[in-house]
Amino acid sequence: MRTPDKHILNFLLLVTLSVHTLWGGAIGAAGSGSPEKRRQLREPQSIPDRNAGGAQEQTSLSYEEYRSRIEPIFLKKRQGNVRCYDCHSTLATRFRLQPFLPGDSSWTEEQSRQNFEVVSHLVTPQDPLKSRLLLHPLTQEAGGDPMHAGGKFWGSQNDPEWQMIADWVRHGSAGLSPIPPASRSAADALDFQFFKSRVQPIFLKERPGHARCYGCHSEYNRSFHLEKLSPGAANWNDEQTQHNFQNALQHVVPGDPGSSGLLIHPLAPEAGGDPFHSGGHQFQSQNDSDWLTIADWVRGTRAGVGPDSSPKPMALIYVTNSAADTIDVIDSTTNKVVQVISGIELPHGIAFSPDGARIYVSNESESVLDVVDRKSGEIQRKVPLSGRPNNLSITKDGRRVLVGIRTPEGAVDVIDAVSLIRVKSIRVDSVHNVYVTPDGMYAVSGSLEGKSATVIDLQTDQIAWRLQFDHPVRPMTFEANPDGSTHRIFVQLSNFHGFAVVDFEKHAEVARITLPDESGGFGFAEGRVNTPSHGVGVAPDGKSLWVNSTLANAVFKYSLPDLKLMGYVVLPEVHPLGHSPTGSVPEWITFTPDSKFVYVSNSGAASVTVIDARTLKTVAVIPVGEVPKRINTLVLR
């Protein structure tokens, strides 16, 4: 017998014994009652009688959100390759899932609705902490029930899955019936002209490697049904389009793309989609331009108004491969590498001219600043520096490039972006990273050797103030005040699993935040124990702070300005032959300009992880070059 099979068998035996004990107690209490009485005790209660979670007979829990986001959790494999489904589809428990039909790997629409009815009676709408579905698999230390025969697979209420179910429960309300997705208000909320001109053409589009949506969904027996085209016609007429519009309304939740089957069903599972779609994964990412168009329609965008009245900005993610001579360029719309810039050995930092025409790269192997043409990827100029460079930045007006020089007598080299000549070197402690503050008024350099951060006034190029730490200074990020000036600096330090908080106006450290103890034993085999946390970033909208953890092999999300922990995302593991798994060694963080997606470079896994910032789910893992580290976003408008 294979090891996974043994795990499942042992797991089923444990649950069976637990359930047998529970039923045995009930039967024993019944004594020698009638056979009919004993039969009733052995049978599960009918759904209307169940009230384990305190739910009312009618709730406003969203079925569409349940189907697209909650139900897939029951199919996730856990320790020993066991799923919730494996026990709860076979045993007589309160949480009874429908068994799959022969040959199926997921539930039909009818089965999902039956599951939904069962699950609805295991939750208390608006109150996750009174909902059995959330408490039973949660560890007792985190507020869960004392025992769950299936094991405790949520160790914290900050677990992303727990949070997802809690959010679904929290938005329900007792005593109210759900509004059907195809109600008149849905038709009023969503724009017919936008559907006709922007959404409907997607169903006829030929996508590489896929049949058209129309090919299958024009058949009579499809839940999402498209009208058959008239003979010889290349598009639908107005009457047919009205029918298509009405049918599409049945498969969306106005205002909520993430709960809309039209968007979630054809989306790849790793991007947050359903486990299976018989038409394949039409959308590999929530950044797919067609997915975004449909999402705009669901959000209520009208023809000629909003984001579609002008072209969307294009965001490219640049990743320097620190142990190679390449830079990978990722299109955030497709999450695919679309360009590889070669010929720069040991590339370190990367920045861009304001118009996006030039790329600036600090070249460690030659101690130069490479100036690269973005479109061709060709090196246009090599600017000699005063020493071996580390990271770099660029002033807000794009007129000067600032390069950190990591030598015993460190400096910030200043390069004129017009003449491409080094015009001065500002002496500071040996520089590992250098930044420009959100308002463009100051540069801030961080030093490993000096254990310091130095603030330079960019109007005078003089040191404004300096702050000493007890550990070497690693990456930093900045929080702005409402007027755009700098409020706080979040500073990572060697030998500290967290970050320091610096009040910019006070020129002082005011707090230290330790990351949660979610350690999986990572960092030791990788030789990175002295760098427990590397990579930190404030999202462009200023509402969240993201912090990498080497020890947890994860990235943590905090809300701003209150620094409340919102959750975390586990990063990929590396599986060396003959050794225990190691971490991906996360290094740097960047974002899409709308703050919806987070990109983390994994230096130990030669990849970049893409995270949905709202759901805290990984939507893509992108292979890149050797030891990717610095990562930055270029927005083209």
Query: Does some domain include residue 458?
Result: no
Please tell me whether residues 164 and 259 are part of one structural domain.
no
| Per-residue model confidence (pLDDT) at position 308 | 44
Please tell me whether residues 155 and 275 are part of one structural domain.
no
Which amino acid is residue 272, in one-letter code?
Answer: G
SS3 letters across 372-436: EECCCCCEEEEEECCCCEEEEEECCCCCEEEEEECCCCCEEEEEECCCCEEEEEEECCCCCEEEE
Q: Is-contact 533 499, C-beta < 8 A?
A: yes
Find all residues with CB under 8 Å of 243, minimum gap 6, and list them. Answer: 227
Position with higher pLDDT, 117 vs 425 = 425
Predicted confidence (pLDDT) at residue 46 exceeds the cutoff of 90: no
The model's pLDDT over 598-636, given as tens digits with 9 standing for 90+, comes to 999 999 999 999 999 999 999 999 999 999 999 999 999
**Reading across the β-sheet that carries 554-559, which strands appear in turn?**
536-538, 544-549, 554-559, 565-570
Copy the structure tokens of residue 506. 């006070």
Q: Is-contact 434 402, C-beta < 8 A?
A: yes
Query: Does some domain include residue 228?
Result: yes
Q: Using 50, 70 and 90 to split pLDDT, how confident is the model at 182?
A: very low
Please tell me whether residues 161 and 229 are part of one structural domain.
no
> Which of residues 145, 170, 195 is at a domain's end?
170
Q: Mean pLDDT over residues 153-167, rounded? A: 84
Q: How many domains does the chain have?
A: 2
> Which of residues 309, 333, 356 is at a domain's end?
309
Please tell me whether residues 166 and 239 are part of one structural domain.
no
Query: Does some domain include residue 24?
Result: yes
Q: Is-contact 626 603, C-beta < 8 A?
A: no
Please tell me whether residues 190 and 298 are part of one structural domain.
yes
Query: Does some domain include residue 609?
Result: no
Per the listing, tokens 């094991």 go with 151
Find the helix or strand (DSSP H, E) in which 443 lies. Answer: strand 442-447
SS3 state of residue 362: strand
Query: Does some domain include residue 418?
Result: no
Q: Using 50, 70 and 90 to split pLDDT, how confident is the model at 108?
A: confident
Around Cβ 597, how many Cβ atoms within 10 Å? 25
Domain limits for position 238: 184-309
Q: Using 50, 70 and 90 to split pLDDT, how confident is the model at 26?
A: very low
> Residue 425 and residue 461: Cα distance in Å, rounded?
10
> Residue 522 and residue 603: Cα distance in Å, rounded?
14
| Per-residue model confidence (pLDDT) at position 186 | 52
- Before 586, cis peptide (omega within 30)? no
Q: Using 50, 70 and 90 to split pLDDT, how confident is the model at 428?
A: very high
Q: Mean pLDDT over residues 353-374, rounded? A: 96
| Per-residue model confidence (pLDDT) at position 241 | 92
Copy the structure tokens of residue 294. 């449909």
Q: How much is the mean pLDDT over the chain?
A: 85
Predicted confidence (pLDDT) at residue 214 exceeds the cutoff of 60: yes
- In 31-74, which ranges are continuous DSSP H helix? 35-42, 63-65
Q: Are strands 462-468 and 452-457 parallel, antiparallel or unpaired?
A: antiparallel
Backbone angles phi, psi at 158, to 5 degrees: -90, -5
| Per-residue model confidence (pLDDT) at position 20 | 45
Predicted confidence (pLDDT) at residue 168 exceeds the cutoff of 70: yes
The model's pLDDT over 254-309, given as tens digits with 9 standing for 90+, comes to 887 887 889 988 988 877 788 888 788 888 888 788 988 998 898 888 876 544 44
Query: Does some domain include residue 396?
Result: no
Q: Using 50, 70 and 90 to split pLDDT, how confident is the model at 3?
A: very low
Please tell me whether residues 13 and 143 are part of one structural domain.
yes
Q: Is-contact 610 317, C-beta < 8 A?
A: no
Longest CA–CA separation in the chain, Å: 98
Predicted confidence (pLDDT) at residue 176 exceeds the cutoff of 70: no
φ/ψ bin of 495: left (φ > 0), alpha (ψ from -120 to 50), beta (otherwise):
left
Please tell me whether residues 159 and 294 are part of one structural domain.
no
Please tell me whether residues 153 and 280 are part of one structural domain.
no
Which amino acid is residue 156, in one-letter code?
Answer: S
SS3 state of residue 201: helix
Produce one character per residue of 41-78: b if its CB has 16 or more CB atoms within 10 Å, e if not: eeeeeeeeebebbebbeebbbbbbbbbbbbbbebbeee
Find, among 631, 635, 626, the residue nearest to 604 by Cα.
626
> Which of residues 256, 289, 309 is at a domain's end?
309
Q: Using 50, 70 and 90 to split pLDDT, how confident is the model at 41?
A: very low
Query: Does some domain include residue 453?
Result: no
Q: Is-contact 260 224, C-beta < 8 A?
A: no
Query: Does some domain include residue 220?
Result: yes
The model's pLDDT over 555-590, given as tens digits with 9 standing for 90+, comes to 999 999 999 999 999 999 988 888 888 999 999 999
Q: Mean pLDDT over residues 42-57, rounded? A: 37
> Residue 109 and residue 116: Cα distance in Å, rounded?
10
Please tell me whether residues 159 and 209 are part of one structural domain.
no
Find the helix or strand (DSSP H, E) in which 438 lies. Answer: none
In 458-602, where do the E strands start and end? 462-468, 473-480, 486-493, 498-503, 508-514, 536-538, 544-549, 554-559, 565-570, 586-591, 597-602
> Residue 445 and residue 476: Cα distance in Å, rounded?
9
| Per-residue model confidence (pLDDT) at position 519 | 60
Q: Mean pLDDT over residues 206-210, rounded? A: 83
Position with higher pLDDT, 330 vs 83 = 330
Please tell me whether residues 148 and 228 are part of one structural domain.
no
Q: Mean pLDDT over residues 212-234, rounded? A: 87
Please tell me whether residues 20 and 77 are part of one structural domain.
yes
> Residue 311 and residue 298: Cα distance in Å, rounded?
19
Q: Is-contact 275 72, C-beta < 8 A?
A: yes
Find all residues with CB under 8 Å of 180, minimum gap 6, and list them. Answer: none
Please tell me whether residues 222 and 121 are part of one structural domain.
no
